[in-house]
Structure 1
Amino acid sequence: MSKKKFVKSIILTILIIVSNILVLRFCNLEDKDINISYKIISNQKDVYQVFYGIDDLWKEEQSERVNYDNINNQEILKFTVPRDTKKLRFDFGEHPGNINVSDIKLSYWGQNVDIDLNQILDGKNQTQIGQISRKGNSLDVKTIGNDPHITYEIDSNILSNLQGYKNVINNAVKIFICLLIDIVLFVLTRKSKSVITLMLELKTNKTLIWNLSKNDFKTKYAGSYLGIIWAFVQPIVTILVYWFVFQYGLRSGSPIKDVPFILWFMAGLVPWFFFQDALLNATNCMLEYTYLVKKVVFKISILPIVKILSALFVHLVFMVFLFFVAAIYGFYPSQYTIQLIYYSFCTFFIVLGISYATSAIVIFFKDLGQIINIFLQIGMWMTPIMWSYTTVPLKYQWIPKISPMYYIVEGYRDTLINHVWFFERYFQTIYFWIITLGLFSVGAIIFKKLKPHFADVL
């Protein structure tokens, strides 16, 4: 083995060991609340409530209320309680009635545990319950008075089992992330020459990149009466149309309490517009700048970044528009606003990695442009932009989170609405950068392999 390869192997080994230790030591799944659900059929409309705590001092602020409106039809009522809850109180309405309760479950990280109905049947735990009987996995309950309820103490074994299940998932995710990091580091070290060469070309031509980006942005709308205004008119109209349809046509509400739908919606759509516009333009950059590609001395590796920067100018205007809408509803810039620079860079970098591959391949396979258009249409609806991932059952919520754009879309909402730092989403942050660096490495390798043949095909 040569000295150079030996040094590379030592560096790779050290990086793998250090990164794996950091992931295994510091990355843990965030603690979630426990979900409670049960099915109910009642002979009248009413309000059902669950109190939670560590003792029998029930407080209104430590409770959740859900309306039952579908008389004599089964509904699933869902509540959320803190994970340190030890005691529950199920309030079955505010009026006397006949109800059937079934499938009372506790859920935590996708693990469901049935509540022991025998403990609920214990008369000592009942108040204003006239009659109660068990039929299989359901209870027939006749309530009296205006405050019928049953108290329940969560078995410590159930809590430990739920925590144990979470630890299993936590360890599995850690191992998966470690494997992804190892693969990315291996690719980066084995193909480091391609990546380093590409990065050096971008650095040495930064002035040219900036000038070409400004020129590209200006010439795109040259000759029209409104000029660059057209760059903003269509996306703004699209936002307004979608907002009107979802807010007033489909009656969609914001999934976050006290947050207007238009703000929640725009926070997800604005970064997607940037991703979409940048990817489409960067993919076709070699075809558009054919005369530059054929020049031997011109560094064509800068063309995708030129197109992405051109799209970034439009994105900056949209962020100003987003701030304006947020201010109207009382959401003003805060210390978290600085994160928009980070999330914009995330979008920029992932598009750059993808576009190095797509801009090279599209020269030899022209249909790729149409395929990307279809991919973007599907991706817009699959990414939780117009809908919340919380509407998906808990055990399937990992599916929309697979997309790297989920991280960016939710990041914009974390910045403007939720006020959560990106490093608090450490698992998602690690996953995003593993995928992004992997895409960039693959894109750089493909670009370098196909680059010598560009001029011949064009």
Structure 2
Amino acid sequence: MLKSKKKILVLILFIALSNILIVNKAQLKVPSNINLEITVKSENYDVYQVFYSHSLNFSEEYSGKLEYENKKYLGNLQFAIPVNTKFIRMDLGINKGNILITSIKFKNLFKKYNLPLKDLKIIESNNIRNISYSYGSLSLESLGQDSSIVCDVEKYVKGVSDNYKINLIIKIISCILVDIMLIIFIKKSRSVLQLSVELNNNKTLIWNLAKNDFKTKYAGSYLGIIWAFINPIITILIYWFVFQYGLKAGSPIKDTSFIFWFMSGLIPWFFFQEALINATNCMLEYSYLVKKVVFKISILPIIKIISAVFVHLVFIVFLLTVGCIQGKYPDIMIMQLIYYSFCAFFLVLGLSYATASIILFFRDLSQIIGIFLQIGMWMTPIMWSYTIIPEKLQWIAKLNPMYYVVEGYRDTLINKVWFWDRYFQTVYFWILAIGIFVIGSIIFKKLKPHFSDVL
């Protein structure tokens, strides 16, 4: 009874703290640009240009230009304008004729505002006459010679940039999801704690078995453990040659070579890939230990992951050496690599408890994981920068937990950004990683009694 009360108190405390943090700190990131869409109909082919500014001073640097090719038909002209835009100037080409503006729309994230053209505030006009509004459209006659109109759109831009309601919905959903996860975690805490205690009580055995696993893996071959590094290094060199010299890819970060930027993303993925594959198959490989009643089989996945850590540490040294050759010398921030390596370690551990248990009953899982890793390697921004994705869609790439680890290595070695500066990504990663660990622990405990039967 007392333990139940303690669990309830702990649950209430964690729910209260998490909800307070979400409500006070979580804010939806506002993109630097919003979309402006103008629908026009004209008698002539022409080039339209939109200037945007927070004052009445316009320059070519802050403008967008599009061709109107649908003569006498409606054409959509789309521009990206900054969220601090107050005024826009629409240059309506060099040809004389009647122009019909049927709609002006502002879009930002999930919000869209269709500006009533009768409310459009025209401050200035040049070489324009007969401006009139009828049937929902704005009609004007261009006299050619760079005709233009200047409009005040500050109110409308602010309207779509204000994400208060969206923020509120996201906060409510986040609170609900975090609360559900905490309830499940507390309810299943016995399974998780029991697993954690087993790992802690057998840490000496884990360390010795991990070293032995690493040594015996390549025993009998002439080159020994050197084979652990040959394949990844050849892979790095092939991708580097193909992307930098074949596809002429360059580093998206100024003053950083492509090979160093590329390696800083690929090396953590190598660790994740090798650790997950080895840990998934650990029960099959050590089947003779699984059948022993007295042996704590819960330590087998972590043995395989620690064995992969040894190779990973050598590659980190190799990566730092390449950085020094190129003038990227280590500083105090290098300590952050320990944190991001632990992030990958914990993520794999949670996944492996589930996969190592399920594979005994469903042997095809090994092939599925291989396909998953191939897709995941290309879906994770390792060989490409997430900045090539439109800003409003970048959150999709950030849902991948390995995005956090890969970009974390680059933040440490190149961008010089601490992990706590990535507040939302850090919170999201650990919520997801802990959730995966809890689910993996539950699956492992449920299936553990049947391991000997299927082996």
Global fold match (TM > 0.5): yes
* TM superposition shift of 1:130: 9.7
Q: How does 1:274-285 map to 2 (within 5 A)?
A: 274-285=271-282
251-260 vs 269-278, greater mean Cα deviation? 251-260
1:180 CA displacement: 2.2
Q: Kindly report which structure 2 residues correspond to 1:8-87, keeping only aligned pairs within 5 A, or say none.
A: 8-35=7-34, 52-53=53-54, 55-56=55-56, 63=61, 81=82, 83-87=83-87
Q: Are 2:191 and 2:442, in contact at CA under 8 Å, matched by a contact in 1?
A: yes
Partner residue, 2:338: 341
Q: Does 1:209 align with 2:209?
A: no
* 2:400 aligned partner: 403
Q: Does 1:320 align with 2:317?
A: yes
Rounded to whole Å, the distance in 2 between the matches of 1:5 and 1:245 is 59
**Could you say what secondary structure the match of 2:359 adopts?**
helix
Answer yes or no: is 1:193 the counterpart of 2:176: no
Whether 1:232 and 2:224 are equivalent positions in the alignment is: no
Deviation of 1:91 (Å): 8.9
Letter of the 1:183 partner, please give it: I
Change (3 A) 1:152 1:410: farther
User: Cα deviations across residues 97-117 of structure 1 (Å, max 9, x unaligned)?
Assistant: 99x999986554354557888
Q: Using the alignment, how far apart are the partners of 1:92 and 1:261 within structure 2? A: 43
Task: Give me the TM-score of the superposition, normalised by structure 2.
Answer: 0.81
Letter in 1 for 2:368: I
Distance 1:131 1:210, change over 3 A: farther
Per-residue Cα deviation, 1:423-445 (whole angstroms, up to 9, x for no partner): 22222222211111111111111
Q: Secondary structure at the residue paired with 2:387?
A: helix
Cα distance in 2 for residues equivalent to 1:240 and 1:284: 28
**What whole-Å deviation, never above 9, does each CA across 1:174-213 have from its counterpart, x for those lacking one?**
2222222212211221111111111111111112212221
Equivalent residues in 2 for 1:16-165, closer than 5 Å: 16-35=15-34, 52-53=53-54, 55-56=55-56, 63=61, 81=82, 83-87=83-87, 107-112=107-112, 124=124, 153-163=152-162
Following the alignment from structure 1 to structure 2, what is the Cα–Cα distance between the partners of residues 309 and 33?
43
Q: Which has the larger radius of gyration?
A: 2
- Secondary structure of 2:249 counterpart: coil
Give the whole-Å Cα distance in 1 for the aligned partners of 2:241 and 2:46.
35
Q: Are 2:301 and 1:310 equivalent residues in the alignment?
A: no
| Amino acid in structure 2 at the alignment position of 1:247 | Q
The match for 1:438 among 432, 435, 454 is: 435
Pick the aligned partner of 1:365 from 359, 362, 365. 362
Q: Is the 8 A contact 2:103 2:117 kept in 1?
A: no
Q: 2:378 aligns with which of 361, 378, 381?
A: 381
Q: TM-score, structure 1 length as denominator?
A: 0.80
Q: Higher mean Cα deviation, 364-373 or 274-283? A: 364-373
> Cα distance 1:297–1:427, how it changes in 2: closer, same or farther (>3 A)?
same
- Given that 1:131 and 1:143 are in contact with CA atoms closer than 8 Å, whether structure 2 keeps it comes out as no
Q: Which amino acid aligns with 2:289?
A: L
Match of 1:181 in 2: 178
Count of equivalent residues: 443
Return the offset for 1:301.
Answer: 1.0
Q: Contact 1:103 / 1:138 at 8 angstroms: preserved in 2?
A: no
Post-superposition offset of 1:328: 4.2
Residue in structure 2 matched with residue 221 of structure 1 by the alignment: 218
Cα distance in 1 for partners of 2:275, 2:56 equals: 57
2:234 aligned counterpart, secondary structure: helix
Q: For 1:17, give the aligned amino acid.
A: A
Q: How big is the alpha-carbon RMSD for the aligned residues of Structure 1 and Structure 2? A: 4.0
In structure 1, distance between residues paired with 2:237 and 2:131: 54
The residue matched to 1:345 in structure 2 has which SS?
Answer: helix
Secondary structure of 1:364's counterpart equals coil
In the superposition, relative to structure 1, how do residues 157 and 202 fare at CA in structure 2: closer, same or farther (>3 Å)?
Answer: same
Contact 1:33 1:108 (8 Å CA) reproduced: no
Farther off after superposition, 108-117 or 374-383: 108-117
Give the AA of the match of 2:401: P
Residue 243 of structure 2 corresponds to 246
SS of residue in 2 equivalent to 1:124: strand
Which blocks of at least 5 consecutive residues in structure 2 are unaligned? none
* SS of structure 2 residue aligned to 1:251: coil
Q: Distance in 2 between matches of 1:438 and 1:268?
A: 25
Verify the 8 A CA contact 2:122 2:152 in the aligned structure 1: no
Distance 1:216 1:80, change over 3 A: farther
Calculate percent identity across the aligned residue pairs. 53
SS of structure 2 residue aligned to 1:442 = helix
TM-superposed CA distance for 1:373, in Å, is 0.9
